[in-house]
Amino acid sequence: MIEKKLFIEIPGRRNDFHSAVLTSFSFNFHHFEFQVLKTLKKKWVTSVSVLVDQNILNQLLGLVSGDLNYISQSYSLVGIPSKGAFHPKINFLVGDDKLLLFFGSGNISPGGHGKNHELFTGFFADSKDSNQLPLLNEAWEYLTSISQNLKGYNYERIIDSIPKSCSLISNFTEQKHILHKLDDEIEVALLYNESTSIFDQMTLLVPQNEIHRITVVSPFYDEKGETLLALSEHFKNAALDVYLSDYGGLPPVKMKHHKVINFYEWNETTRGKKRILVNEANIRKLHSKIFHFQSNDFEYCLIGSPNATIQGLGNPNKSPSNEEFGALYKIKGNKLLRSLGVRGRKKKLVVSALSRDPNIKGDKGQSADRKKIHIVGADLLGYNLKIYFNRNQKVDNVELSIFDGFGNVINTTPVTLGQDEFIQFKFHQKNDQSDPVFICFVEENKTISNKQLINHTDKLIHTDPAKGSRNLRQVISAYQGGAINEYEIIEYYNNLQDNNFKNQSNSFSVGSKKQDQIDKSASELTYEEAIEAAKDKAKRTQIVRNHSSIQLWNTLSKIFSNKQQSINDDLMDEEEEATAGRERDRNAADLDKDKIHIKNVDHSEKMIHAVERMVGNYTSSLKKIYYDKDHKIDIVDLSQYLLLTHVITALFRFSHYETNSKLDLHDWQEKLIMLYGDHMQKILVSFTKIAMGHEMLITEDDSYSQDKLKELKQKAIYHSFLYLYLVSRRCTSEIISEDLQLIGLNLLKLFDKPDKDFMTYLKDLSLSVNDEYFSPEKVLEYTNNHIEIIYNMDFKNDFVYTDHLGLCKVIESNSKIIRLRSLFGKRDMSQANFKKHDSGIK
């Protein structure tokens, strides 16, 4: 693979891969965000997790982590500690039924992705070709093994979420570090340091007495050449050709002369002479690592991250200290070095005449005292920060320091580290957060832990690799771009309900059904499933941020806000330019642009049927939830109500249509208005009954939920009175009119009256959908009439309140009975029984 086009060359179509797990020793934030992440997003890879050397991360945070757009919000990055250096360079991409792995010598940096001489290799498998799948599953097992000590978001994403979203990832149970046959000429084994070293694994697979020449390419060596000497000692029949650069590396300058080991100038090779640009004067830095073994019939070649050092490979007498990863190829013939460009004039070097650059640390781990505490995860959800850690020593008088991206301290607070391996910190006010980026622990003004990035999980939720989450993101993206309208949102919800029904039908036992629901992401859950799952407090925090109704309602609100800002800007321009006719032109243009095309009568009936299905499913769910006495109204309830009532209103009342068929558009619009009244009345009655029968959920420990619930309650009362007005305006039935009035009165009693911004909201909404649809003044007048009934005691003889029926209209009252009209129908109560309960408006 060409380094500069490493991620551009990822094969397949858009959405073939949804997740990426990347590892690197060094890391360049800006290169990653502007090159790597940007390219991955273009290929619809949304879940991106990066693992880097912890010591390197400690140096970078606060120094080069400012002015970043996506850090810990569109991707996660976590430090991995190692005895030496965390040194593998792995890029693992995962799709529903595809896996792609490429790895080698290059870090996530401009040098690793183009400026240096690097070498990468890779493997691929899909549902049609699983020949290389054992190698891929072994590599995934390696990634999960180095992620085992993580906690929170990072652990769950790599260990749980990504594997669940791929049919090919499975537990690796085969023997490790063995050759797998790819075809008649090639076999491959994966090598990485664990209980055995890469050196030991390699020498077990490469026949000791058959090798007659070894070629080593590496920028870094032991100062005394111990690794080269160990190779020569093991492969006694082999001569060693060692390629290195005469600058910018760590040559074995103190190695004694050895008769079979010769050193050559890398820059004289075919590959060494290659430049990025044809006329470029600068010589590229050697960073590739190649260990090539030639026999008469086969060649063996290790490609990957380890240098020719004890830290990277180990030797028979010493264990390696680094995490490394590579692949050993066994290939018939002797053409590989030529294809890699390791050929040309062989210019000998006198290695003792070279020098080791003191500014280059190579692959040695940073020498640092072992910290008293190691932070293994930090997740921010709303205003709550949860920090996971391991204690290596006893600590007293500990403080938590929170930093922005530039390394400025945002907050320092004393904390008590109890028996649990996590603590929680709560930001008291939103402005206290000031974009927190990373944390560490301090004791007596001395840092006693690693630095760890804060995962903004309310943002990272939107990178969930689950198929349902990705489908939802596509719907949102298409709606934002104007490619779909509210009809497609209705179809999305009907499909969600249909898929749930199929899953239930295919469940052979209650146990399997429950497991299906457990494995679903929040965005895949139906309304009923979300309500049930949210009873588990641990799951609720994810559901109230990631359920489809919440994400879509937030999207609609943002689009409305942006559209209103654009309209206000246009109006301001019109005032400044005194172009009174422009507003009419703009409205006409908007109408033409937003018209929905009806192909034929069948298309129109399909649209009506889709709405009927959605309303039927929703009101059926509300009826079930009404009888669940443990249920409390939460963010999901209000978001679902606001979203579904909006899409019906937009489709049936706030849309213009066009057609080339014989469909009469006037009759069509009239039919929609009539159906709108029927459907909206059903929803309003069912939703009001839910509100009457259940309390609001109080979440004192979750400021986000408190604020969001307050916001949605106000929006619910805004929209309810708009819809009541729209339905009542065309209503000719006195009974239905009384029901609509009771809906409004009960919602006012339960949700309180609209706040001072109601009129502004109505005017903005009217402008955004063209003001021919409704008059904000009329809606406000309609609302105020209901408010007057609630708060004017002169009406107390016309309406009464009971615990079970809510606010009711008095139809008849005498000395014996009182006859009431409620949303549950007519009820007769004896005066004695009525007085025993409640009377009058409370």
Query: Per-residue DSSP letters for 427-484?
Result: -SSHHHHS---EEEEEETTEE-B--EEPEEHHHHGGG--SHHHHHHHHHHHHHHTTSS
Per DSSP bridges, beta strands 446-447 and 19-24 are unpaired
How would residue 546 be classed by pLDDT, with cut points 50, 70 and 90? confident
Tell me the mean pLDDT in the region 5-30: 88
pLDDT score recorded for residue 413: 94
pLDDT in tens, 347-388: 999 999 999 988 887 766 554 457 999 999 999 988 889 999
Query: Per-residue DSSP letters for 655-709?
Result: --EEESSS--HHHHHHHHHHHHHHHHHHHHHHHHHHHHHSPBPP-TT-HHHHHHH
pLDDT score recorded for residue 193: 98
Give the 3-state secondary structure of residue 745: helix
Cβ burial, residue 542 (10 Å; 0-12/13-18/19+): buried
Give the 3-state secondary structure of residue 259: coil
The top-scoring range by mean pLDDT among 139-153, 391-405, 578-592 is 139-153
**Res. 506: pLDDT tops 60:** no
**Res. 105: pLDDT tops 70:** yes
- CA–CA separation, 476 and 536 (whole Å): 27
pLDDT score recorded for residue 559: 84
First to last CA, the chain: 75
Q: What is the DSSP letter of 395?
A: -
Length of the chain: 842
**Res. 47: pLDDT tops 50:** yes
- CA–CA separation, 722 and 728 (whole Å): 10
pLDDT in tens, 246-285: 888 999 999 999 999 999 999 999 999 887 765 555 678 9
- Order of strands across the sheet that contains 76-80: 76-80, 47-53, 19-24, 90-94, 98-104, 120-126
- CA–CA separation, 142 and 125 (whole Å): 17
pLDDT in tens, 765-806: 888 765 567 899 999 999 999 999 888 765 667 888 888 899
Q: Which two tokens stand for residue 53?
A: 């050397």
pLDDT score recorded for residue 508: 32
User: C-alpha angle 518/546/17, rounded to 5°?
Assistant: 80
Whether 77 contacts 320, CB under 8 Å: no
pLDDT score recorded for residue 513: 36
- CA–CA separation, 560 and 518 (whole Å): 34
pLDDT in tens, 158-167: 999 999 999 9
pTM for this one?
0.86
- CA–CA separation, 813 and 7 (whole Å): 79
Give the 3-state secondary structure of residue 98: strand
Helix, strand, coil abundance in the chain, percent, nearest 5: 45, 20, 35
Give the 3-state secondary structure of residue 106: coil
Tell me the mean pLDDT in the region 325-339: 97
Whether 45 contacts 17, CB under 8 Å: yes
Tell me the mean pLDDT in the region 316-332: 97
Q: Which of 182-191, 515-524, 752-761 has the lowest mean pLDDT?
A: 515-524
Whether 583 contacts 771, CB under 8 Å: no
Whether 423 contacts 367, CB under 8 Å: no
Whether 437 contacts 49, CB under 8 Å: no
Per DSSP bridges, beta strands 19-24 and 47-53 are parallel
Q: Which two tokens stand for residue 293?
A: 């073994």
Tell me the mean pLDDT in the region 466-493: 88
**Res. 36: pLDDT tops 90:** yes
pLDDT in tens, 561-608: 777 666 666 555 555 555 545 454 545 445 455 678 888 888 889 999
pLDDT score recorded for residue 515: 42
Q: Which two tokens stand for residue 311?
A: 């830290």
Query: Per-residue DSSP letters for 312-379?
Result: HH-BTTB---SB--EEEEEEESS-HHHHTT--S---B--GGGS---TT--TTPPP--PPPSEEEEEEE
Whether 759 contacts 776, CB under 8 Å: yes
How would residue 430 be classed by pLDDT, with cut points 50, 70 and 90? low
Tell me the mean pLDDT in the region 133-155: 97
How would residue 842 be classed by pLDDT, with cut points 50, 70 and 90? very low
Q: What is the DSSP letter of 222?
A: -
Query: Per-residue DSSP letters for 164-189?
Result: HT-SS-----SPSS--EE-SSSEEEE
